[in-house]
Structure formats: C-alpha cells, structure tokens
Chain A
Amino acid sequence: MRHSCFITVGPARFRIGSDWRAPIDLLRSLYRDYPLEQVVPDFTVRLQATSALRRWIRPAVSIAGDFTLPDAAPLPLSQALLAAEMAMNLQMALGWRRHLLLHASAVSRGGRAVIMTGVSGAGKSTLSALLGERGWRFLGDEFVLLDPDSGMIVPFPRPVSLKNAAIAAMEHEVDDDDRFGPVLRDTPKGTIRHLRPRTEAIGLMTRETQPALLLFPRFGEPRAVRRVDEAECFVRLTQASTNYVALGERGFDALTHFVRSIPARAIDYTDGEEGVEMVERLWSEQGVKAAA
C-alpha cells in the first residue's frame, strides 16, 4: 500500500498499510516509544478507502486486514486512529493463538498482577490508566494475555483509549500533554483520546508477571465488594475471551488453572478515586493472606 508502518505491542507485531499518509504519521507519533522496525508481522491491518473516489471526497476508512468483519461500518478519515485501533483489536480478537486472550485490563506491582475484566463501560480501562499513573505498572487496558504454558500474564500495553468523561479525568491526572493523542470527536463511541502509557511500562512490555488478583469492577455503583466463586469466574472469563474455544485443551487448562489459583472479587465503586483506593486495599489484604 502507499503508506505503511510496523508496530509491536507486547508480543504482537502489526503491519499497517494506509491509502493516506496522515494516519501513518499519527500512528508513528502515538506509538513513538514502541518498537517500530520492520519485522515479519503477526497481522496485517489495512486502512483503505471504501472506494477509489473515497480516497479524496469525504474520505472514508474501511477497517480491513487479515481478519475482517463483514459489513463493518467505515469511519471518516479524521477518525483513522480509531479505525487503526479497532482493526488491530480485531486481529488480536480473531487471530491470536499464542495466549488465552482476555478482554480485560491489568496492572502490576512487585511482579504480581491485578486483572480487571468487565463489559465495556464498566471502567476497567480508566481504572488501569489511573493505577498506571500511581505507582503501578500498566500492562494493558483492552487485552490481557495469559500464557497457557507458564500461567503468567503477558503485557499488551497499547495506548489507552480514553472515552468521554475519562478524558478529562486523565488530563487532570497526567501533566505531560505530550502523552495524549489528538481528540477524536463524534466517533461512534463518543469522544475519544489516546493516552500513551508511561515509557517505563512500554520498556517493560516483554516482561511477564504472575497473576495475583482478579477483579470485576463496576463503575458508578455504590461501593460494594463481593467474593466471586470460581465457577462464575470461569464462565465470565470464557465469555470475556475471544479465543477460549479456539485454543481447545490449552485454553481449558489455562483458564481452569487461572480461576483456581487466584482470588476474585467483584467491586462496585462510585468514582475513580474510590476505585483506586479499593484496589489498593484489596491488594494489601491479599498480600497479608499470601504472607500468612
């Protein structure tokens, strides 16, 4: 294709081609701290004009690549960063086989990870971004990769995709304006702005960590904590995984081991501050338990 770049996030390598120059420049800037050298990629993503005419007139980006969804709606060129993000997500969701892929966010401290999973809008992404600014290592806001052989968490720390109210919250949290991407307004998901993780988190993205705590956060609810049974964790995680079935026996072994080996809690919290505090508290309680 006319314009292209390579991006490596965690263990996954992408080749991105585009009919326009602008999206590639934006990606190079947003991913400047990630390895960008040419490799044999795991996935190819294409940001292509829906028709020859659409390269120039009201340009529309169709989301394509090794794996595509039929009938997917195109996006205007001004939202090409979102198109790229969705296309990369789609490759991972449909094509990744090396790890059990969980739709979840994660942070770690002292080599041990908290995994947070829940439906879109539950706040897992923002919570991981907040924790990533407060002494935790950011491991990813969208996908958590679980190694079936070692049981370890493999980071996938792509830029955080902040939506709507979370944008202001993180702008308040992060002083360095340079870490934010452009504001994308009127996208199908509302307003979106990307936040580059701290350079340390990106630098450590090949280092695996031990899972220690599984959380099911729910934002905007009165504070509550509930123990989650292993069976419920198991079912919820099969539904939060896009490749559980495809991994077959390896997926089964990985997930049954995972839910049996770490504690799980559902937490409801009213705002980000409360969320952070509850994670910290649960974390220290777990620490006590592990030491005892």
Chain B
Amino acid sequence: MLGPRNMVAARYAALPAAALKRVQVGGLEAIYHLPSGITHLLAEPVPDLLDALARLGPGRFADAAEVLQLIADRFDIEGDDPAEPHEAVLAERLAELAALGLIAISPDK
C-alpha cells in the first residue's frame, strides 16, 4: 500500500462531491469513484469518515487526530483492540482511502 504510514500526520481532505457516487446496499456502502471508474464497497467506519471530511469541505485538510475529533462529536468510538489508540486506527483507515484515491492527501508534508 502507498499509505504514508511512516510520515508524521498525513493530512486528508474530501474529494469534490461530484467525484463520488455513494449508495447504501444492505449493511455496506457501495461507492463509485468517477475518476477511476472503480466501485468499492465500504464497511463501517469508512462512510462516516467520508461524511466527516465532506462536512469539513473539499480542499480542507485534516489529520487523523482532527478527524477523530470530528467523529467523536457524533459517535462513541470503539476499536477492535483496546490496546490500539483510536487515532492510529483512523490513520490506517484514512491512508487506505487515500491509496485508493477516495480522499485527497495533502501534497505538503
């Protein structure tokens, strides 16, 4: 994966709304990414992360800690492994989305 996992606090932003088409199918969300023509299926918490960045607005970048803040305002957060800090888990989710081109990653490091 191209995840910038070793860099300090990569920053991410939503794509312009027109780049994605999102539809709930059953318990997952199907998302059509127009620039690539690729369909992805997203499980929790990914749709909510996309929502959080979208609310922030396209082009406004946030790192994992800030995204955590944004979603913590609306949800109780629970990870699979209590030993893993939420921020680290979210950083992983965000890196995965950026690698697929589903969110933008800030060019300045």
Q: Which A residues contact B (CB, under 8 angstroms)?
A: 229-235, 238, 244-245, 248-249, 252-253, 256, 259-260
B25 in contact with A245 (CB, 8 Å): no
A252 in contact with B25 (CB, 8 Å): no
- How far is the CB of B39 from the nearest CB of chain A, in Å? 6
For A252, the closest partner residue in chain B by CB is B32
For A234, the closest partner residue in chain B by CB is B25
User: What total count of A-B pairs have CB within 8 Å?
Assistant: 42
- How far is the CB of A162 from the nearest CB of chain B, in Å? 35
Give Cα distance in the complex from A259 to B37, angstroms.
20
Interface of A is mostly: helix
**By the criterion of a CB under 8 Å from any partner CB, how many residues of chain B are at the interface?**
13
A248 in contact with B30 (CB, 8 Å): no
CB within 8 Å of A: which B26-40 residues? 26-28, 30, 32, 34, 37-39
6 smallest beta-carbon distances between A and B, as pairs: A230-B26, A231-B26, A229-B26, A252-B32, A231-B28, A256-B23
Contacts beyond the supplied A229-B27, A252-B32: 9 A-B pairs with Cβ under 8 Å: A233-B26, A245-B38, A248-B37, A249-B34, A252-B21, A252-B23, A252-B39, A256-B25, A259-B25
Q: Which B residues contact A (CB, under 8 angstroms)?
A: 21, 23, 25-28, 30, 32, 34, 37-39, 41
Decide: A256 near B26, CB < 8 A? Known: A238-B39, A248-B37, A249-B21: no
8 contacts between A and B (CB under 8 A): A230-B26, A231-B30, A233-B25, A234-B28, A245-B37, A245-B38, A245-B39, A260-B25
- How far is the CB of B30 from the nearest CB of chain A, in Å? 6
Give Cα distance in the complex from A252 to B27, angstroms.
17
- How far is the CB of A149 from the nearest CB of chain B, in Å? 17
Residues of chain A contacted by B21 (CB below 8 angstroms):
249, 252-253
Give Cα distance in the complex from A253 to B21, angstroms.
9
- How far is the CB of B33 from the nearest CB of chain A, in Å? 10
Residues of chain A contacted by B34 (CB below 8 angstroms):
249
Give Cα distance in the complex from A260 to B28, angstroms.
12
- How far is the CB of A137 from the nearest CB of chain B, in Å? 29
Residues of chain A contacted by B30 (CB below 8 angstroms):
231, 234, 252, 256
A231 in contact with B37 (CB, 8 Å): no
Residues of chain B contacted by A232 (CB below 8 angstroms):
26
Q: Which one of B28, B30, B38 has the highest number of Cβ atoms from chain A below 10 Å of its Cβ?
A: B30
- How far is the CB of B70 from the nearest CB of chain A, in Å? 26
B41 in contact with A235 (CB, 8 Å): yes
